[in-house]
Amino acid sequence: MIPGGVNSPVRAFRAVGGDPPFIVRGNGPYLWDADGNKYIDYVGSWGPLILGHAPADVVESISRAARNGASFGASTSAEADLAEMIISAFPHIEKIRFVSSGTEATMSAIRLARAYTRRKYIVKFEGCYHGHADALLVKAGSGVATLGIPGSAGVPEEFTQFTLALPFNDHDALEQAFNKFRGQIACVIVEPVVGNMGCVPPERGYLDELREITHRDNALLIFDEVMTGFRVAYGGAQELYGILPDLTTLGKIIGGGLPVGAYGGQSEIMQLVSPLGPVYQAGTLSGNPLAMTAGLTTLRYLRDHKKMIYALLDKLGGELMAGIAAAAKYAGVPICCNRVGSMFTWFFTAGPVTDWDSAAKSDTEAFGNFFRAMLDNGIYLPPSQFEAAFLSAAHTHEDIEQTIAAARQAFAMSAPSIRMKAVR
């Protein structure tokens, strides 16, 4: 009836084994499945639920908007209100266009970059996932990495011949690409904190180099902040690292848990988008009133409580990672803990993990065993070694303590098999 029984590949649990639970309800940091099992959730719908599941204000705002109509295919005041709020948080964005997904946002931003520069080549990074548009399914992360495939069937070579996939955090590869294709690269698109091969932060100075080299070659720099926007800081990774890109793509949190995406940048670039200019992009559900209202309510809450919320997320994240690292060390299980704010990943490798090649050295069998043990103990993690996990402001210190206790048991169970593997 549904291919693989799922509507997104990672949900099938092929990488971790076992049968995926069917979720029926979420509240705060918790999920309940169809069998009545309760879980502490660190997936958060893959990032957007920074306030937790079903926050009262967001639910009420969606209900109120729905009573006025779910979709019009026409302009609403909520679009303008949300645009104004995002622009106030991201200094380089002067104009913004809403779409219905992160895939649409990145696809449209790249089309716009090519039109603005009148160039064909784009640079992306191995292990970074920017949606399932044809030209971007080259050494992509997320489910592509989880399933162990290099790209996707159905994508002709001609569609990817102008995509240059480079190793993340590799300064020399970047210089070589721009020397070889000088004056031909339209843009560099990057997850400033990678979340789709697991959480991988940029090395010190790497984002500065991306900014400098694109500026020098008159190429555009696109920050894909679909995950990081409003999560690693209120103003996203560009606020955290002090880098202003030319274009930004957003999603996840700006819809408050409903389907949404956006791309924005300087007026000079954005005025090329139809109806002002020749770059065509459209969508019946773009700016959907339910998503706009949910996003607006979420961002208002983050804005009004940002000092408290981001400090809490960082504190809880630090406690969680320190506890897990200590539990793994005690059990003799080699792991590498990567975290930026409320994004994190436990890689089952001694590390460090700085790019796709080092992430791919992870023991995915050990991760699968750990995942299943944690699930049995009421902890819901991303069912893939190569996906970031997320905290929400609804998580508590008690949730963190319970998770660390579950990890101690999981490591104790997996340590003998890991040691045997090391001996062989």
Could you report the per-residue pLDDT of 184-222, keeping only the tens digit for each? 999 999 999 999 999 999 999 999 999 999 999 999 999
DSSP-assigned states of every residue in 378-391? TEE--SSTTS-EE-
The vertex-41 CA angle with 374 and 99, nearest 5°, equals 135
The two tokens of residue 89 are 């948080």
Structure tokens at 355: 């790019």
Distance CA 47, CA 236 (A): 13
> From the candidates 170, 224, 363, 399, which is the catalytic residue?
224
Least confident of 155-164, 242-251, 278-287: 155-164
Return the pLDDT at 146: 42
Distance, in Å, from the CA atom of 320 to the CA atom of 404, rounded to the nearest integer, reads 7
**Strand locations in 326-423, DSSP E?**
336-340, 343-347, 379-380, 389-390
Decide if 129 is catalytic.
yes
pLDDT > 70 in the chain, percent? 92
Which residues are CB-contacts of 18 (< 8 A; sequence separation ≥ 6)? 372, 375
3-state SS, residue 189? strand
- Side by side, which strands form the sheet with 23-27? 23-27, 30-33, 38-41, 379-380
Measured CA to CA in angstroms, residue 226 lies from 94, 103, 189, 242, 254 at distances of 18, 9, 12, 18, 9
For residue 144, count other CB atoms closer than 10 A to its CB: 23
pLDDT score at 16: 83
Residues 201, 194: Cα–Cα separation, whole Å: 6
Higher pLDDT, 368 or 420: 368
State the catalytic residue, choosing from 129, 234, 241, 380.
Answer: 129
| DSSP assignments along 5-28, one per residue | G-SSGGGG-TTT-SPPPPEEEEEB
Name residue 190's beta-bridge partners.
223
The pLDDT of residue 134 is 66
The CA distance from 269 to 304, in Å, is 31
Cis amide prior to 334 (ω within 30 degrees): no
Q: Is 301 a catalytic residue?
A: no
pLDDT band at 154 (very low <50, low <70, confident <90, very high): low
| Sheet (strand 336-340) strand order | 336-340, 343-347, 389-390
- Single-letter residue type at 400: I
CB within 8 A of 267, min separation 6: which ones? 94, 95
Q: What stretch of H or E contains 215?
A: helix 206-216
pLDDT band at 418 (very low <50, low <70, confident <90, very high): low
Look at residue 420 in the predicted model and tell me its pLDDT.
Answer: 45
Contact of 22 with 368, CB cutoff 8 Å: no
**Span 387-415, pLDDT tens digits:** 999 999 999 999 999 999 999 999 998 76
Residue 306's DSSP bridge partners are: none
What are the strands, taking DSSP E only, across 203-291? 220-224, 247-251, 261-265
Average pLDDT, the chain: 91
Active-site residue flag, 224: yes
Which entry of 42, 246, 252, 310 is annotated as an active-site residue?
252
The pLDDT of residue 402 is 98
pLDDT in tens, 3-58: 777 777 677 777 787 888 999 999 999 999 999 999 999 999 999 999 999 999 99
Specify the amino acid at residue 76. T
Residue 276 to residues 114, 155, 272, 273, 383, Cα–Cα distance (Å): 17, 31, 6, 6, 43
At 305-350, the pLDDT tens digits run 999 999 999 999 999 999 999 999 999 999 999 999 999 999 999 9
